[in-house]
Structure 1
Amino acid sequence: MSPHVAEFARDYPFGLDPYQVQGCEALSGGHGVLVAAPTGAGKTVVGEYAVWLAIQQSRKCFYTTPIKALSNQKYHDLVERWGSDRVGLLTGDSSVNPEAQIVVMTTEVLRNMIYAGSTTLHNLGYVVMDEVHYLADRFRGAVWEEVILGLAASVSIVALSATVSNVEDFGEWLRTVRGEFEVVVSERRPVPLFQHVMVGRRLVDLFDGVAPTAQELPSARAARVNKELLQVSKGEASRVRDDSRNPRGRSGRGKPGGGGRGSGQYGGATHPRFAAKPTRRDDMARVLSEARLLPAICFIFSRVGCDAAVQQLLHSGVQLTSRQEARLLGEIADRHTAGLSLPDLDVLGYEDFRHALCAGMAAHHAGQLPAFKAIVEEGFTTGALKLVFATETLALGINMPARTVVLEKLVKYNGEAHVDITPGEYTQLTGRAGRRGIDTEGHAVVLWQSGMDPRAVAGLASRRTYPLRSSFAPSYNMAVNLTSSMGRVRAREILNQSFAQFQTDKSVVTSSRVGRQLTEELADAQQAIECHLGDFMSYALLRDEISELESSSAKQRRAQRAGDIADAVSSLVPGDIIHVARQGWSVVLGIGQKAQRDSVPWVQVIAGDHTVMRLQPHDLTGPPLPVARVRVPRRFSVRDRTERRALLSAMSNKLESIDPDAPENSAPPTDEAQMERIAHLRRQVKAHPCHACEDRETHAVAAARVLRLERDRVRTESDMATRTNSLGTQFDRVCAVLEELGYLDGDELTDAGRMLRRIYNELDLVAAECIRRDTFAGLDAPQLAAVLSTMLYESRPSRDQITPRMPDAASERAQSELRQVWREVGQLERKHRRDRGREPDIGFAEVSWRWASGQELAKVLAHGQLSAGDFVRWVRQVVDFAGQLAQAAGPGDLRRTCLSIVDRMRRGVVDVDLEED
């Protein structure tokens, strides 16, 4: 150990692990270092050594984290060691001593500094990037790569990561773009981890023997599954087989007993009579308490489930704290909520929360008020709070280790289906078990589920890593910032050095093959649309744009028409000729009702290209109104090609005799500008030479195939651009859009481009265009807050969700204009083969308007059907976005209105929680 590292290590109450010494020595040698180690292994020691070195060398050190809560926590840790005069804090909401020698900040703040060429970067020697595996995050991951690529070569980077399976690839990329860079990997936990399964009220070891899983090779762990658990599984399977042979069983009804949905290898449904009795949550809490395995975190992959678990324990009379602990927890809760009014506390359910907290149990999830989460976090770190029910977001959040981690299930809902958790997720979740310096061992407990395979669970516990995948892709804001700071040529080179490109160069062969096949198919398809009257492709594009406009109406307007569509579907009869968006004229073959709780009508049709479809109301853009009728034979077979041809020929003859247009009322109601655009396109369609072609519909089928192949080819190219050396091509396309709209003039930024530099939003270009077009002019602060929210908010699916709306006519007008801007930008993106930005969402608009108007919390939450935590999170995003637009717009009415939004919305629970962060 070198003298510098030895001197640094003397300040710690424990000896440094070999991997920590190795990381510190790399920094002493002037190299960057990537440290990958399990959660709780102490990899931040290497980051703290970078701070120590900076102080010794009279240089600056920035300590970056992915979220504000982590920044706050690290700030307090460093202040405790180095004093408040040497340590600063910079987040989106806080600025404390920003020119200090040591500054803790969110990674976005550092990215913005680099783009702005901030003087704060002068004399910067070290940057610690905590939780660098966040660069896989879909929404924020690109920031990490922007920082790594943008920092001066003289800055040494300390990258701290959870264990990932492709750490060597990541290290190789860092060496490629940063020069000397050492990779330090530790697979060993400083606190050994024991694995258990709780069957009923019994705690059973997952593995035979006494060695903790974290101290063995994966192959040794997997080979030693506890025979007792295997017997439980085998006995359960045997009883299920016996029951299948005697299906009447004890039910006496002769019904099969295997009801229920399968949920993967870690716990599928079996016959309910033979399923192992699930462990009650109050039993689980008491067993852990009796075994002295508290404090514990119990992961439940549901916000509602976490809250329900706390209530179940409370109603079961579980008491996990002493009087002194209960008093301490009550004091912590009251201190964090001191700034809230009694009415606000009442609507937030504070008394129930505090009652459960003082009994030693609480929930922790993204739907909570940040102040409540802060209470839980502080209470847990004191050791007084014994049991926390949390969603998986806690595993990626602040430092909150426990003696034990419990997983209720090994299956979670990913938004589309119930899926097994991955080995990486299991490792991340259980990694919190075992507090260094407090516990001599950690414990992971899985609750037994019917149909569970212990060997599959052992496989989860034996594999400790997951791959790190880049989410990097150029945005409009990134393009103008890179171009401003280094010019387009250098910016393109930087993008081609990204980890995204580095990772996926090896897959270019597969992508190229797919692209080549699509190109060949496209060439063949284009020959089938040659028309003697003119350019049929231009005609098809007009029709396609009409179809796209017809299908792009707002969700709430479609919902209003759902009843009309359902009625129209129910009134159809076989033989009716109707128009189906994108498929064209079709013949009705039959109608019926879908067998479910709410009866849903459907219609079966055959389109001109012989496609047979069963459509429900949500598949249609408007009420299907028949324009004529043909006879459908009683025993018509869709499988008989001759019968299909005859029927479609009859439809074609009928249509020629009446020559109908696609019904205007088949398009959902939309704003006036969109209707005018559709009418204009229809006039162009009728005036086009190919409209008179006798083979028009045949050509149209071929043209539809061309368009489909073209879209597939564009998607493939986009995929290659994200994953291969075409990332620079993506950047070129971004710049082409910006040039056409006047944000770039060659290598130079225009005034509009300089404005765009200050807007960090997924719809950054739409927001900038709205500023340029005075879309927000004349709006007061509440109205503007409502409109801005539509560029931020993303609705969560809900059956009971109220149809959203804009709060008044002025905000409705502005939002309609914003949507028109979004459509026009989308058309330009399509022209330049760019993916369109996500659709604006008005689901938070009225809530934003009400809060900015000064309405009380109870009324706003009751209207919005949001949890307090979600409400605060989205309000804070509106506040942050308004602040960005105030800076981007410059002096004037818009700036004043945006600043008014910030003042109006930073109140009550929002203001308290901003202070918490």
Structure 2
Amino acid sequence: MGSVKRKSIEDPSDTSRPEKQLREDSLLGLDEQVACVHDVSYPEGYVPHAPSSAKTEESLKPAKEFPFTLDPFQSEAIKCLNNGESVMVSAHTSAGKTVVALYAIAMSLKNNQRVIYTSPIKALSNQKYREFKEEFSDVGLMTGDVTIEPNASCLVMTTEIWRSMQYKGSEVTREVAWIIFDEVHYMRDRERGVVWEESIVMAPKNSRFVFLSATVPNAKEFADWVAKVHQQPCHIVYTDYRPTPLQHYMFPSGGDGLYLVVDEKGKFREESFQKALNALVPASEGGRKRENGKWQKGLVVGKAGEDSDIFKMVKMIIQRQYDPVICFSFSKRECEFLAMQMAKMDLNNDDEKVNIESIFWSAMDMLSDDDRKLPQVSNMLPLLKRGIGVHHSGLLPILKEVIEILFQEGFIKCLFATETFSIGLNMPARTVVFSNVRKFDGDKFRWISSGEYIQMSGRAGRRGIDDRGICILMVDEKLEPSTAKLMLKGSADPLNSAFHLSYNMLLNQIRCEDGDPENLLRNSFYQFQADQAIPDLQKQAKILAEERDSIVLEEEDSLEDYYSLLQQHKSLKNDVRDIVFSPKYCLPFLQPGRLAGVYCTNTNENVPSFSIKENVTWGVIINFEMVKGLSKDDEDKKPEDANYTVDILTRCMVHKDELGKKSTKIVPLKDPGEAAVVSVPLSKIDSLSSVRLKIPKDLIPLEARAHTLKKVSEVLSRYAKEGGMPLLHPEDDMKVKNSSYSKAARRIEALESQFEKHDISKSPIIEEKLKVLHKKKELTARIKSIKKSLRSSSVLAFKDELKARKRVLRRLGYISRDDVVELKGKVACEISSADELTLTELMFNGVFKEIKVEEMVSLLSCFVWQEKLQDAQKPRDELELLFTQLQDAAWKVAKVQLECKVQIDVENFVSSFRPDIMEAIYAWAKGSKFYEIMEFTQVFEGSLIRAIRRLEEVLQQLIQAAQSIGETELESKFEDAVSKIKRDIVFAASLYL
């Protein structure tokens, strides 16, 4: 395939090329749609070997034949594998990346080599194990929950297990020839992404890699990194090809039709988009209400389900035979709420119902009679029989798997799922619906990103079944065409490192024979990306320096002196204002009708004013109020400590910044004839006049506002003749008694007399000269900041943090002065599923020795529970006492970190341990039935099961830890704890195994 475009890493023109560029480099002579890009990264100084011509007939035979014609990207990737070289395959969901993994496994087995397949989630590992087992038989599984045939030639595992095997020096790591990292774009995950980076950097030097990833625009950068770290070529096979093209529609809330906004050729239809927005019925007239920051959707409370948007939408999809459909929703509650809207819809015939029932009950056979009575189990079957399913992390794992199986078999026509359904599971549908275009990301409501949209919409369109996939966005608020285009036609999110240091990683690195934390940092993708930025930063600094040096000013020294006086003047004026206009002094004078001077800036002017006299606009005070804080403490503040805003009638507006947050920039109105009441913070008031006007009660009519401002103008012009508006004197009238104020006021007077005597102040173009000097100073500051970035990029990115964290470990007694891992360190080395330091401190404080097993399990639940519950049950006294001990240990650990200069928010850290499920876990360890616990707890069944499974994971790690330091008594106590919690529905085996 001679038309393949290859470039070596040394090629200076080849920076990490964006997605668009890659698309333009596509294979020549092929249909543009199917085309792929093949590129290769070589390590520095690497000389490619000439291919050996002495290959035997046996070695030329493909390791595996496929019953279909391979796509160009698949055959390109397989060529790289046959040449024994690593490859990264970057392609859309459902494009067929697994073919490359299957070939790599077949090739390893044929050559009697060992191969590892890692995936980000246990459920995906279970599925892949089942798939590979049917194909190859010599396959094992290791997920932390389950171990099956650990000596098999092909091992499927989670990336976390692979990382810990590498740290422990397992013999598997010495034998492995190929490592397949599935869903490698997971590396950008904020919490767990670092595990991928560690395991790639630490991978055995003689192994080769297959990386499977969703489309990432910087695939080349990733391959460059792998080539550098492992000193071997790494190929990139990139394709933007979708086997089934997509059409993107909009469904406006309250409307009754679909509008095609992006066609299958990727063209955005502006006209259709505008029509959709015009058909939008505002929320107040129906559609949707928002309550307490949660989205309530589809129906205004009390309306029948058939009137809801989602019911109309699904009905239309079924009528047009666009099913099966996945409706994505961003919360578990909303998923269930929307599914309940389908109460009157039945999508299955009698035969299908019989099949569903038999599949369902044969899956539930492994459950005890009590567990089968769980409301979630009994409520789900009637829904499933009607062809409707729900899939989210709050479901019982066994239910989730039954639903996946029913969906794959075509018995579920409409599935309501959360975002997690779009990761890895190979379950395409014909149509994908987004029930919302905004999501809450733990911090705020925001538009979904183009990367998230690509990931989820990738589920639409089944290869070989549908001629196109359909994506429908349900929109309930006006969105800008630019926002829509960015979402629907934007590029995938780049693969950026989420690397961070953890104590467990440090201790394991220090303990390993050839471990070296600095080496891990130096080789991290994070450091690589920082280093990549260096040439660009150097270029920027050079351009800015040239621009700065081209600015030549006459009398620059004298100007500098004047500029510095101005800066001092400005700073002192601010100090004075902060004192005089603090609530303590100014509140008694903010009566309605008093004239006030407000600072005004010109929006177009990014350069500050260089006049001593500032731009002040006069207006009338209407009233003032305390700013309500977000927390209870803010509301209880004393009046003099609280924040206030003043409503002033003036010809100004509060300028909003891009994010829509109110910035405190006050700007003149474009039409000076307008008059508006604006809320300004006290800090924006420049002066208060002794003049008060009588103002009308009702200022809503424009005439009333205009008439009042006319009176203000008259007052201003009258006093202009008499030397200016009479002001309240801070000391005489407002009774400001403050030594700092007196000092600042005297200093301002002295400065103002210096201005008058200054030689340069007489220059007619002084303002212009000062603006030029200000620009020069800004350029100097930008150059300084770039140089600072350059210093931090070229040295080790985490060098200071590494030192600080080592200080913490020494001070707490985890490592010695000479970096030898002590007893405590050996324990923390084993703990990767919970906060290792706090847990180790509790263990060494003797807390676990003195308490009952059930209490210990209950205490450990605080380490694995992350969700915030509204009305969580308060734990009983003895458990609360234990929780206090945990908080004390966490407080101590956090304080030491703060003292050792590790950046940490102590309050946040301590409150991250939550007692919400202590009672539930205590009852479970005591032997209660699962349904009994569900009766008194607010938690979703699946969430509780996940917590108990994580708890078992932590206990297993604690067993290892106790073993490593010879604590046999504790070891048997932890084993006893495992036997108490490991039972029934919580640990029911996966249906895939």
Alignment-derived partner of residue 448 in structure 2: 421
Aligned residue runs from structure 1 range 584-623, under 5 A = 602-606=636-640
* Residue 186 (structure 1) shift: 0.7
For residue 918 of structure 2, the aligned residue among 829, 832, 845 is: 845
Contact 1:201 1:279 survives alignment (8 Å): no
**Hey, what's the Cα distance between the residues in 1 that align with 2:345 and 2:59?**
49
Contact 1:128 1:157 survives alignment (8 Å): yes
Q: For each residue in 1:244-286, what CA deviation from the matched residue of structure 2 results, as whole angstroms up to 9, or x when unmatched?
A: xxxxxx99xxxxx99988999xx999xxxxxxx9963222222
Alignment-derived partner of residue 47 in structure 2: none
Secondary structure (helix, strand or coil) at the match of 1:202 reads: coil
Contact 1:263 1:418 survives alignment (8 Å): no
For residue 296 of structure 1, the aligned residue among 297, 314, 325 is: 325
Alignment CA distance shift 1:640-1:767 (3 Å): farther
Is 1:101 the counterpart of 2:153? The answer is yes
Aligned residue runs from structure 1 range 726-741, under 5 A = 726-741=797-812
Alignment-derived partner of residue 60 in structure 1: 114
For residue 833 of structure 2, the aligned residue among 758, 761, 769 is: 761
Contact 2:287 2:476 survives alignment (8 Å): no
Q: For each residue in 1:608-638, what CA deviation from the matched residue of structure 2 results, as whole angstroms up to 9, or x when unmatched?
A: xxx8589xxxxxxxxxxxxxxxxxxxx9xxx
Alignment-derived partner of residue 339 in structure 2: 310
Deviates more, 1:442-451 or 1:127-136: 442-451
Q: Give the greater-gyration-radius structure (CA).
A: 2
* Residue 14 (structure 1) shift: 1.8
Secondary structure (helix, strand or coil) at the match of 2:848 reads: coil
Q: For each residue in 1:397-442, what CA deviation from the matched residue of structure 2 results, as whole angstroms up to 9, or x when unmatched?
A: 4222111111122111222322111111110110011222433322
For residue 24 of structure 1, the aligned residue among 74, 78, 94 is: 78
Alignment-derived partner of residue 817 in structure 1: 885
Q: For each residue in 1:117-158, what CA deviation from the matched residue of structure 2 results, as whole angstroms up to 9, or x when unmatched?
A: 011223210000001111111221111011101111111011
Contact 2:833 2:950 survives alignment (8 Å): no
* Residue 391 (structure 1) shift: 1.0
**Hey, what's the Cα distance between the residues in 1 that align with 2:979 and 2:208?**
40
Residue identity in the other structure for 1:280: D
Gaps of 5+ in 2: 2-54, 299-305, 542-586, 589-623, 646-689, 691-727, 741-787
Is 1:865 the counterpart of 2:938? The answer is yes
Alignment CA distance shift 1:772-1:599 (3 Å): closer
Is 1:905 the counterpart of 2:981? The answer is yes
**Hey, what's the Cα distance between the residues in 2 that align with 1:593 and 1:466?**
39
Is 1:175 the counterpart of 2:227? The answer is yes
Alignment CA distance shift 1:113-1:732 (3 Å): same
* Residue 350 (structure 1) shift: 2.0
Residue identity in the other structure for 1:821: A
TM-score after normalising by structure 2: 0.66
Q: CA RMSD in A?
A: 4.2
Alignment-derived partner of residue 149 in structure 1: 201
Q: For each residue in 1:269-324, what CA deviation from the matched residue of structure 2 results, as whole angstroms up to 9, or x when unmatched?
A: 9xxxxxxx99632222222122221111011112111111211112xx21111222
Aligned residue runs from structure 1 range 653-664, under 5 A = none
Contact 2:248 2:262 survives alignment (8 Å): yes
Is 1:357 the counterpart of 2:401? The answer is no
For residue 195 of structure 1, the aligned residue among 248, 253, 270 is: 248
How many positions carry a matched residue from both structures?
Answer: 713
Secondary structure (helix, strand or coil) at the match of 1:157 reads: strand
For residue 827 of structure 1, the aligned residue among 887, 895, 904 is: 895
Gaps of 5+ in 1: 241-249, 252-256, 270-276, 514-572, 575-589, 615-634, 652-716
Alignment-derived partner of residue 133 in structure 1: 185
Alignment CA distance shift 1:770-1:718 (3 Å): farther
Is 1:90 the counterpart of 2:163? The answer is no
For residue 772 of structure 1, the aligned residue among 844, 860, 863 is: 844
Secondary structure (helix, strand or coil) at the match of 2:68 reads: coil
Secondary structure (helix, strand or coil) at the match of 2:847 reads: coil
Q: For each residue in 1:433-482, what CA deviation from the matched residue of structure 2 results, as whole angstroms up to 9, or x when unmatched?
A: 12224333222122343535566434422224112222211211111111
For residue 519 of structure 2, the aligned residue among 481, 486, 493 is: 493
Alignment-derived partner of residue 113 in structure 1: 165
Alignment CA distance shift 1:169-1:105 (3 Å): same
Alignment-derived partner of residue 102 in structure 2: 48
* Residue 502 (structure 1) shift: 1.9
Secondary structure (helix, strand or coil) at the match of 2:471 reads: strand
Contact 2:401 2:991 survives alignment (8 Å): no
Secondary structure (helix, strand or coil) at the match of 2:425 reads: coil
Aligned residue runs from structure 1 range 474-553, under 5 A = 474-487=501-514, 490-505=516-531
Alignment-derived partner of residue 704 in structure 2: none
Q: Percent identity?
A: 28
Residue identity in the other structure for 1:781: V
Contact 1:736 1:832 survives alignment (8 Å): yes
Deviates more, 1:195-204 or 1:28-37: 195-204
Contact 1:718 1:730 survives alignment (8 Å): no
For residue 185 of structure 1, the aligned residue among 238, 246, 251 is: 238
* Residue 720 (structure 1) shift: 10
**Hey, what's the Cα distance between the residues in 2 that align with 1:258 and 1:403?**
26
**Hey, what's the Cα distance between the residues in 2 that align with 1:136 and 1:602?**
42
* Residue 859 (structure 1) shift: 3.0
For residue 788 of structure 1, the aligned residue among 860, 865, 876 is: 860
Q: For each residue in 1:82-106, what CA deviation from the matched residue of structure 2 results, as whole angstroms up to 9, or x when unmatched?
A: 12xx110111111110010001001
Alignment CA distance shift 1:6-1:739 (3 Å): same
Alignment-derived partner of residue 876 in structure 2: 807
Deviates more, 1:44-53 or 1:833-842: 833-842
Contact 1:591 1:604 survives alignment (8 Å): no
Contact 1:604 1:612 survives alignment (8 Å): no
Judging by fraction of residues, say which structure has more helix. 1
Residue identity in the other structure for 1:834: V
Alignment CA distance shift 1:649-1:344 (3 Å): farther
Alignment-derived partner of residue 752 in structure 1: 824
**Hey, what's the Cα distance between the residues in 2 that align with 1:198 and 1:612?**
44
Secondary structure (helix, strand or coil) at the match of 1:502 reads: helix
Aligned residue runs from structure 1 range 62-81, under 5 A = 62-81=116-135
Alignment CA distance shift 1:916-1:734 (3 Å): farther
**Hey, what's the Cα distance between the residues in 2 that align with 1:869 and 1:788?**
19
Q: For each residue in 1:25-67, what CA deviation from the matched residue of structure 2 results, as whole angstroms up to 9, or x when unmatched?
A: 1222222111111111111211222111211211100111011
Alignment CA distance shift 1:407-1:593 (3 Å): closer
Alignment CA distance shift 1:647-1:858 (3 Å): farther
Alignment-derived partner of residue 674 in structure 2: none
Alignment CA distance shift 1:73-1:4 (3 Å): farther
